[in-house]
Amino acid sequence: MADRLFFPPTTAADMRARGWDAPDFVFVSGDAYVDHPSFGAAVITRVLEDAGYRVAVLAQPDWHSPADFKRFGRPLYGFLVSSGVIDSMVNHYTAARKRRSSDVYTPGGKPARRPDRAVIVYCNLIRQAYGDIPIAIGGVEASLRRFAHYDYWEDAVRRSILVDSGADLLLYGMGERSILVTADWMSRGAPAWECAKMRGVCYMADAPLRGSLEIPSCEACIASKKAYGEAFLTQYTEQDPFRGRAISQRHGQRFVVQTVPDTPLSREELDRVYALPFRRTWHPDYDGQGGVPAIEEVQFSIAHTRGCFGSCSFCAITFLQGRIVTTRSHESVLDEARAITAMPQFKGYIHDVGGPTANFRHAACDKQLRAGACAQRQCLFPRPCPNLKVDHTDYIQLLREIRALPKVKKVFVRSGLRYDYIMADKSDAFLKELCQHHISGQLKVAPEHVSPKVLAVMGKPGRDVYDAFCEKYRRINRELGKEQYLVPYLISSHPGSDLAAAIELAEYLRDIHHQPEQVQDFYPTPGTLSTCMFYTGHDPRTGKPVYIPRTPHEKAMQRALLQFRRPENFALVREALRQAGREDLIGTGPRCLVPPEGVKTAAEYAQIRREKKAREARREQREHRGARPARGDARKGGHSPSGRRSKPGGRGRR
């Protein structure tokens, strides 16, 4: 019981051991409880505890009846609900809509411990258990479904999750500050009209908020893809704490109202959050169940930064952490590193010092901290903005300070790095430091594609930037005397990618002699610009049509093209090549992607290639011999047909 007292209560017995009659709040989560700052449930719970509230955690409750939601009795103020670290539908299904066989956020990695659309299910069960008790929802699932949104699994537009859940309040984005405002509102039993004064929340109202932007209604978005694109673009453009405006969207007779986004936490506020007493492991409830596998990736890792000004079209960071980068102080990061080195399982290796983008250590420019990120302009695409501050000095110093700590053998950087930001740096100091100290054999980077038309849709730099980075990486490793490799992350079937683009990427992989072990098929998750394009077939920023690989078969062909050497993909690759008029890439030549029909295994294909190469070598040898002078006509420095070198004037000489 002593160890359990260091964690939030998860049972009625835990609650009584603390002398509580009832908790102030019950936090319901679709994940098992892991007391680590990488898990939202832990952060929100610890922030509330630090403010003096009593919080019980109902992790992965039985959702087949309301009974488990009565575990702690009726909380004094209300329920807080999250599906977990990721959307419950993404947690359950692959990009091919196939059920996943495991769940790393569940003890022992077992699947099916939460329902589909967990937030809605949990809220409806709470209503059954306690009627009109205050409920606030938050996290990824709630944040990205706050308005009418395209749902890939139903292939249709769904209403706001606030409507379907029946919750009173939705907190979007990073909620450390807004959860305290919400807790105060719920504890006072304050009136609904006070919600309009909060930042970073959504609520239901009978009329649009005065001064807000009214976007096309839910019904209009269901009826018209054009209206859906207009609504999404407004949400995307106004997602800024300085210049963003409130938004209202009609749903039937009522309105979903979103207040202005909250400002990012200051450095001091971030430091305070990470100084809270996290145990950095799973709750003791799970010791006998194999623990929670998700901790393995982050237990010895440190997040030093929040936000990302990269603005990739397929990423939802804009709607969650925002485009304005804020960072923790060196001392805060070093304190966490020291705590890691004191853990009994620590072997000397810090697995990561990163964040959404590891090498962003400050805001893109000074203007962002005063007036927000530009509405119609990106910081890195299509080229780095002239106002972009490119400086890795502070990050280099931070990494050096962590390396210098006792017990630390090596510090890795495994979070994503923006190689275009590295290339914009006039100094090679960071890349040299990275290659020398912070990778081990290989560096993973994310060009995502090489086709110009696909990269433009993705918001990623051109292939020339990636090629230049590859060359610089090789050069620096040669100078350091190291043999280290690049491993590119790639996305298949992204909007804009037709078969010609997929083949272009396959040829690139052939030329660099790389065959990816894993390929991410584009996943249309709520809240991304790419998902809006996938649904509407247009880029909402320009109104121009975008090619969409929509059928499962075409998506399978594009995926197979990126792993064209696998025998199980031969038939699909041949079909794709013929459909695109690229039969020249079917055969046994050095530039071919796949062999002709009849070849079924990689070994058989390799044998055919070896035999063909041997035949070509013999033919070249015969042609070479046929071009040589006859034995009697040998000249100085020539070769006789026998291969023996002729001596000048030597033959017939006495």
Is 70 exceeded by the pLDDT of residue 637?
Answer: no
For the segment 90-146, what is each residue's pLDDT rounded down to a tens digit? 999 999 999 999 999 999 999 999 999 999 999 999 999 999 999 999 999 999 999
Q: Which conformational region is residue 97 in: left (phi greater than 0), alpha (psi within -120 to 50 degrees), or beta?
A: left
State mean pLDDT over 243-255: 97
Answer whether 554's CB lies under 8 Å from 475's CB. Answer: no
- pLDDT at position 602: 67
Radius of gyration, CA atoms only, the chain:
30
CATH domain 441-619 topology: Transcription Regulator spoIIAA (3.30.750)
CATH architecture of the domain with residue range 300-440: 2-Layer Sandwich (3.30)
Q: Which amino acid is at 50?
A: D
Contacts of residue 106, defined as CB under 8 A and 6 or more positions apart, other chains included, come to 31, 32, 60, 113, 114, 292
Percent of the chain with pLDDT over 70: 94
Q: What's the pLDDT tens digit per position in 342-382?
A: 999 999 999 999 999 999 999 999 999 999 999 989 999 99
Every domain of the chain with CATH number 3.40.50.280 lies at 4-204
And the tokens for 478?
A: 């040669």
Taking alpha carbons only, the member of 451, 453, 528, 532 closest to residue 490 is 451
Predicted structure pTM score: 0.90
Return all residues near 574 (Cβ < 8 A) that are at least 6 apart: 586, 594, 596, 597
**Distance of alpha carbon 566 from alpha carbon 509, whole angstroms:** 13
Residue 156 has φ and ψ, to the nearest 5°, of -160, 165
Residue range(s) in the chain whose domain bears CATH number 3.30.750.200? 441-619
Average pLDDT in the chain: 93
159-168, 228-237, 514-523: the lowest-pLDDT one = 514-523
Q: Does domain 4-204 have CATH number 3.40.50.280?
A: yes
